A and B are shown apart, each in its own frame.
Chain A
Amino acid sequence: MARKEQVYDDIPGTYVFDAERSRQGFGINMFCMSLLKEQNRKAFKANEAEYLKQFRLTPEQTEAILKRDYNRMLELGGNIYFTAKLGATDGHSFQHLAAVMTGNSQEDYAKMMLGGGRSVEGNRSRSGKNVPSKFIAGAPTAKKTAIPKAGPKLKPKPKSKSSKSKSAKRK
């Protein structure tokens, strides 16, 4: 069954670990939890495909694990706090995993973080909803928000904006 579209699926480069993914990815996450024990790490390393058979995994999930495709694991219901345990079993730092998921070298990723991280500008939305949240005054929206308290009260404006984007979407 296809995944039901959620409002947060519009956030680019993000797989929200929601109740549905939690259900689907139970096997992935339980496998990762098992790696907290030294004897399990050894058994997994000795024969990965064989070890994975004891968990309820789909063929796609098994493949993602064997290939260390971390983004695919997230898409198929893995959660980052769990999959990080697989990374640790491979002897990788967390920053290495983050770099892999973003498609960067670890050096470039580390540089980006030192430079203040990835900007939210241009990274808010797949569908072009790059308007900052109206709930935080001082966000770089219109010049009017320079007066912080006026921000959220400007109700008509955000409404018209959202209706515009909706109509744009329908087209």
Chain B
Amino acid sequence: MARIVAGIGSSHVPAIGAAIDNGKTEDPYWKRVFAGFEKSQAWMRELKPDVAIIVYNDHATAFSVEMIPTFALGCAADFPPADEGWGPRPVPVVEGYPALASHIAQSVILDEFDLTICNKMEVDHGMTVPMNLLFGKVDKNSHWPCPVIPLAVNVVMYPPPTGHRCYMLGKAIRRAVESYPEDLKVVIFGTGGLSHQISGPRAGLINSKWDKAFLDNLSKDPQKLVKIPHVDYMREAGAEGIEMVMWLIMRGALDDKVDEVYRFYTVPASNTAVGHIILANRPRAVRQRAPAHKAAKRATARKAKAPAKRAAARAKATLIRGR
């Protein structure tokens, strides 16, 4: 059975990609940002996931205004980095995992989420920047450490899907992954955010208090976040800060209770607050396999209780009928 072991939240600021591509990661301005991801890269190297599902948004690259799919799942064998106006980023082609991707598409659509399927798609910084932040710099002619299933979400045109819808889609993705027969260790990324506004006279808005509260609740009480209306995101976290709903797909795909492995936050990278979090599902073996003697004890207790319970139920039923 395939299973999701961890979720990663990460900003996807394009300037971070440019800093990597132009060899500026050691500049003091950028070092502050990249230093925050060093531990995460070590964690990722140790985890060695078999596949990553990356929730991201396209920025007028693969999707123009001609077609605006709300949720688009990449089922292709590979996804070339797009030319966003400065030539494609010098990163390897992103390899897909079509077998699992099409399985997810089929499962999730029957679960009432009407996905768009992309069998040919280029990917922009929205996806490749978080990959760099978590996997490190990878030579253009080399390979990313694992295949990727992209899930593009419309957050460019209002309205994006609601936070609740995103959260529920995460749950549907989890069910899909867990019904896939192959043994695979899967991680899921939610990308974008945190607070930022890059358009109009209010550009430059950052709200660190909002961001911190978002990360706190994401970790411990995501139910609180799924109810946030879009206007609150835009008002508090900036017009483009609404990207944060994508993190809720990642969160929905995890257990209700998770361990926060790591968190990082810094302001600014270009025009944006950079947020990053790693949430891990608790290992199942620990949760399910209680020590043998305790399990046996519980089983005998259950057996002993059963006849008594049945007797009580019968008594209650007679009482009701008697009335």
Q: Which residues of A contact B (CB under 8 A)?
A: 7-8, 11-19, 22, 25-26, 29-30, 32-33, 35-36, 71, 74, 79-82, 85, 88, 94-95, 98, 101-103, 109, 112-114, 116-120, 123-125, 132-133, 135-140, 148-149, 152
Q: In whole angstroms, what is the CA distance A55 to B155 when docked?
A: 25
Asked if A30 and B64 make an inter-chain contact with CB atoms under 8 angstroms apart, the answer reads yes
The segment from B266-274, B280-288, B292-300, B314-322 that touches chain A is B266-274
Inter-chain contacts of B119 with A (CB < 8 A) = none
Asked if B202 and A36 make an inter-chain contact with CB atoms under 8 angstroms apart, the answer reads no
Inter-chain contacts of A94 with B (CB < 8 A) = 14-15, 198, 270-271
The segment from B37-45, B170-178, B211-219 that touches chain A is B211-219
| A116: contacting residue among B235, B267, B270, CB under 8 A | B267
Listed residue (B65, B84, B205, B273) with the most chain A CB atoms within 10 angstroms of its CB: B65
| B159: contacting residue among A18, A133, A136, CB under 8 A | A18
In the complex, whether B224 has a CB less than 8 A from a CB of chain A is yes
Asked if B204 and A102 make an inter-chain contact with CB atoms under 8 angstroms apart, the answer reads yes
| B217: contacting residue among A11, A95, A124, A136, CB under 8 A | A136
Least CB distance, B202 to chain A, in whole angstroms = 3
The segment from B90-98, B225-233, B248-256 that touches chain A is B225-233
**Which residue of B has the minimal Cβ distance to A120?**
B207
In the complex, whether B68 has a CB less than 8 A from a CB of chain A is yes
Pairs of residues from A and B, 10 with the lowest C-beta to C-beta distance, nearest first: A117-B206, A13-B202, A13-B201, A80-B199, A136-B213, A81-B60, A18-B158, A133-B232, A118-B204, A135-B228
In the complex, whether B200 has a CB less than 8 A from a CB of chain A is yes
In the complex, whether B157 has a CB less than 8 A from a CB of chain A is yes
Asked if A82 and B200 make an inter-chain contact with CB atoms under 8 angstroms apart, the answer reads no
Asked if B205 and A118 make an inter-chain contact with CB atoms under 8 angstroms apart, the answer reads yes
Least CB distance, B47 to chain A, in whole angstroms = 30
Asked if B204 and A17 make an inter-chain contact with CB atoms under 8 angstroms apart, the answer reads no
Q: In whole angstroms, what is the CA distance A151 to B2 when docked?
A: 38
Asked if B64 and A140 make an inter-chain contact with CB atoms under 8 angstroms apart, the answer reads no
Asked if B273 and A117 make an inter-chain contact with CB atoms under 8 angstroms apart, the answer reads yes
Least CB distance, A87 to chain B, in whole angstroms = 10
A to B CB contacts below 8 Å, 23 in the list: A8-B158, A8-B231, A8-B235, A13-B202, A13-B203, A14-B197, A14-B234, A16-B234, A19-B158, A36-B85, A79-B60, A80-B199, A82-B65, A85-B60, A103-B201, A114-B268, A116-B208, A117-B206, A117-B268, A118-B202, A120-B206, A135-B224, A135-B225
Render B59-83 as a binary contact track against A, CB cut-off 8 A, 1 for contact: 1100011101000000000000001
A79-B65, A94-B270 known; A17+B157 contact, CB < 8 A: yes
Q: In whole angstroms, what is the CA distance A16 to B86 when docked?
A: 27
Q: In whole angstroms, what is the CA distance A137 to B268 when docked?
A: 23
**Which residue of A has the minimal Cβ distance to B58?**
A81
**Which residue of B has the minimal Cβ distance to A89?**
B85
Besides the known contacts A79-B157, A137-B224, 7 further A-B residue pairs in the complex with CB atoms under 8 A apart: A12-B201, A25-B65, A98-B198, A114-B268, A117-B204, A117-B273, A135-B224
